[in-house]
Amino acid sequence: MVPRLARMLALAFALALTALPAWADDYETLVTSLGSDNFADKEKAITGLGTLGDARAVPVLQALSDDRLRTGPNNQVLIVAPNDPTKVTDAVTGKEVTGVAPDSLTRVIVNNRLRGNIEGALGGLTLFSPDRDTRLAAARDALKHPSVESVARLNKAITGETDSEVRAAIQKSLYAAQVVSGTKEQQLAAIANLANDTDPRIKSLLDEFAATPNLDPEVKKAADAAIASVNQRLQLIGIVANLFQGISLGSILLLAAIGLAITFGVMGVINMAHGEMIMVGAYVAYVVQELFRAYLPPGVIDGYLIVAVPVAFLFAGLLGVILERCLIRFLYGRALETLLATWGVSLVMQQAVRSIFGSPNKEVSNPSWMTGGFDPMGGFTVTWNRLYIIVFCFVVLGGLALILNRTTFGLQMRAVTQNREMARAMGIRTARVDALTFGLGSGIAGMAGVALSQIGNVSPNLGTIYIVDSFLVVVFGGVGNLMGTLVGALTLGIVNKVLEPVAGAVLGKVFVLVAIILFIQRRPRGLFALKGRMAET
């Protein structure tokens, strides 16, 4: 009994012994044959190392590709350190070898074909790296050169992979490799799986594949169908991306134009300095940010934006009230002259800001919760700052609707908009309503400036960029009506962004301007004009 057990143990031991060296042996023979003079042998060795999945091969292949691999006496394969030619290590054991004269070694020569193989093998090997990000990068990289070898490697990698994101990336590369090199069934299955993908590389891979001659008709049909489906998805994504861009631009226009629409509606006054109120708001954001940086611990820097919004509202609003009290009320009833006077004010404000802050652009950085973005459907990124601005814009709009419809001040404002004389006769202090309306409109412009500072640079002529566009929103949407401003701004934003890829940014804008001029033919008072007697003046 005992001898039998001993024999079995001995056998097991022997098996284990032979198995272990066999594994090590494989690696050793492959590395040794890298030193062969025959290119075919070298190629086999490189591919072998690639499929073996042994991380020790990475520095060896790297050295080979960098021309740092040498053969010494006894066919020993040696690696020369990249920055120190006297330091030599054994490629198999990884131990340093001393007492070898560098010039006695023979260089292992590679050609371009081998370099390609090395790159593929290295890409495959990093699939087994312990570092998750390296694996993910390797899995994505494998998409670039799909081949028969990579199928084996990817298959091996996917079985051991636990991270779901890496797994998905490997799976995608595996499908791509199978399309190129698999059997007909594998090809069909892989194509069907890739048809839902919108990665531009997949699309070009499929395009290339469908164009290869002598393709099995069934496979070709599947590939063509997949390409059509990918194109359709890409088109859909394009539309959604345009829509998002358009809504984003529309929300910015809306923020810029709301204040203008209110003051124009209530007072019949065109405030050309409105753009400068936006600019002032952006500079408030800049100043608040600098104050936070200078006086508060770095941990609360993200909060500067929360503080900047009300500060900008109050500051710009105060400027608006001052402007109304000191200038505009004296020009009541002379709308064209008000336009010119406020234009003068806008020039003075621009130059004043330029004197204080200098003309170079100032940078306002996004708080950390507004940086970056996410990809909802593969192919375009929704950035947080734009998304927050859209949300912010609707919050402002909602708040304004509440003020207009639920407060006494709002009621008075609407009354003055509809019939100033009658409102005054009913005891509304119109002068006070005018000043507060102007302050409210300017305050909203200030908040718009804070929002704009989040998506671009802050400069003294920030306001002039938006002023003509905001006027067009008001003209298009009609006056004294929030709904009109909302529809006007979103329409202009979306039309602008949809036209941009078709006609180019500049020509698209020209088209929009011409369209508005023609639109005024049909509805001279805008989309949502006030109706009845009060609209006659």
Partner 1 sequence: MSDPTQARARGAWGPGFWAAFIGAGVALAIVVPALNLWVSPNSAVAVPDYIVPLLGKYLCFAILALSLDLIWGYAGILCLGQAAFFALGGYAMGMYLMRQIGARGVSQNPILPDFMVFLQYKELPWFWHGFNHFAWAALMILLVPGVFALVFGWLAFRSRVSGVYLSIITQAMTYALWLAFFRNDMGLGGNNGLTDYKDILGWDVHSPFTRLGLYLATVLGLGLAYLICRFVTKSKLGRVLLALRDAESRVRFLGYSVTNAKLLVFTLSAVLAGFAGALYVPQVGIINPSEFSPGNSIEVAIWVSVGGRGTLVGAVIGAIVVNLGKTWLTGAFPDSWLFVLGGLFVVSTLIFPRGIVGLFRQLRRPSPQQPTTMPVEEQA
| Nearer to partner 1 among residue 352 and residue 395 (C-beta) | 352
| Nearer to partner 1 among residue 220 and residue 509 (C-beta) | 509
Tokens of 252: 């910015």
Strand 382-383 with 88-90, pairing: unpaired
Q: How far is the CB of 414 from partner 1 (least distance, A)?
A: 19
| Nearer to partner 1 among residue 5 and residue 425 (C-beta) | 425
| Nearer to partner 1 among residue 381 and residue 461 (C-beta) | 461
Strand 373-374 with 77-80, pairing: unpaired
**Eight-class DSSP state of 456:** S
| Nearer to partner 1 among residue 280 and residue 370 (C-beta) | 280
Determine whether 536 is exposed, middle or buried from the number of CB atoms within 10 Å of its CB (0-12, 13-18, 19+): exposed
Contact 191, 224 (CB under 8 A): no
SS3 for 67?
Answer: coil
What b/e readout covers 123-151, taking b as 16+ CB neighbours within 10 angstroms?
bbbbbbeeeeeebbbbbbbbbebbbebbb
Closest residue by Cα to residue 404 from 266, 528, 253: 266
Total count of residues recorded for the chain: 537
| Nearer to partner 1 among residue 236 and residue 347 (C-beta) | 347
Calculate helix-pair angle for 430-453, 462-477, nearest 10 degrees: 120
Distance CA 63, CA 78 (A): 9
Q: How far is the CB of 340 from partner 1 (least distance, A)?
A: 5
- State the residue for tokens 């104050």: 291
| Contact partners, residue 464, CB within 8 Å, separation at least 6 | 275, 346, 350
| Nearer to partner 1 among residue 189 and residue 327 (C-beta) | 327
| Nearer to partner 1 among residue 239 and residue 534 (C-beta) | 534
Q: How far is the CB of 468 from partner 1 (least distance, A)?
A: 5
| Nearer to partner 1 among residue 272 and residue 305 (C-beta) | 272
What b/e readout covers 58-67, taking b as 16+ CB neighbours within 10 angstroms?
bebbbbbbee
Amino acid at 1: M
Amino acid at 112: N
| Nearer to partner 1 among residue 318 and residue 465 (C-beta) | 465
Number of Cβ within 10 Å of residue 81's Cβ equals 13
Q: How far is the CB of 404 from partner 1 (least distance, A)?
A: 22
Report residue 374: phi and psi, to 5°.
-140, 160
Q: Which residues bind partner 1 (CB under 8 A)?
A: 264, 268, 270, 272, 327, 330-331, 333-341, 343-352, 354-355, 464, 468, 471-472, 475, 506-507, 509-510, 513-514, 516-518, 520-522, 524, 537
Distance CA 86, CA 101 (A): 8
Q: How far is the CB of 338 from partner 1 (least distance, A)?
A: 8
Closest residue by Cα to residue 536 from 424, 414, 433, 418: 418
SS3 for 94?
Answer: coil
Q: How far is the CB of 344 from partner 1 (least distance, A)?
A: 2
